[in-house]
Structure 1
């Protein structure tokens, strides 16, 4: 018997291996753990995967904000990509939390347009819990 898929998952794509990128990797990893722990018994009509993209020498990010990625209708799984701004005075967590909220907004709009869900209340509850930590 397989375990249920998480309602929301967070990961990162790094375009470099320098110290700045590694700081982002640590912040993304910590956020991923917090999201995982916050969703113990939740179920959502949409499974959301958020990919934070950190540009660098090996792979640049030539877009900003959040955008819808792939959608698997059979699994009701959506990937939303979030571009980490190249220069920010904010700490990593503040930037990631802002992008996380934007990604959920994007996913909810997509879910409504596609008739997958009327809202993503369950995912929003998880995000609110993570923000309040």
Structure 2
């Protein structure tokens, strides 16, 4: 696969998640992440961005818990122009998991914008916010 092919296949905004052990308590979050992943994929179809963003939720479970609080930047893939931003989900499941997740994705987009400014990497956060709004 050529680098150009990898760029074409990389969505502008995508989600991922790591669950530290499935429990009845974190099932609503797991379900909400799955549903939002599909909606964001549909809302972002055909949209290109100079910096693509992958938001990865770290959901605490009975085996592992996130080692940080809030939002932080992760790896950057230059060939795919893809930045990973990680979100530590609290142990107590929010009353409205979908609304909580959308709020943390918004915070992750803000974090990506700060990261891009520091490294002088072009980013158009308006496209990412549009995808989130439509999801």
Q: Establish whether TM, by shorter chain, passes 0.5.
A: yes
Q: Which residue of 2 aligns with 1:115?
A: 120
Which of the numbers 21, 27, 31 marks the counterpart of 1:22? 27
RMSD of aligned residue pairs (Cα, Å): 1.7
1:63 to 63, 68, 88: 68
Instruction: Quote the Cα distance in structure 2 between the aligned partners of 1:118 and 1:95.
Output: 24
| Aligned-residue offset at 1:89 | 4.2
Matched, 1:94 2:95: no
Superposition misfits of 4+ residues, deviation over 4 angstroms? none
- What's the TM-score, normalizing by structure 2? 0.87
Q: Structure 1 regions of 5+ residues with no counterpart?
A: none
Per-residue displacement from partner, 1:9-48 (whole Å, max 9, x unpaired)? Answer: 1111101111222222111000100100001221000111
Q: Partner of 2:132 in structure 1? A: 127
> With structure 1 as the length reference, what TM-score do the two structures score?
0.88
Tell me the number of residue pairs that the alignment of Structure 1 and Structure 2 aligns: 130
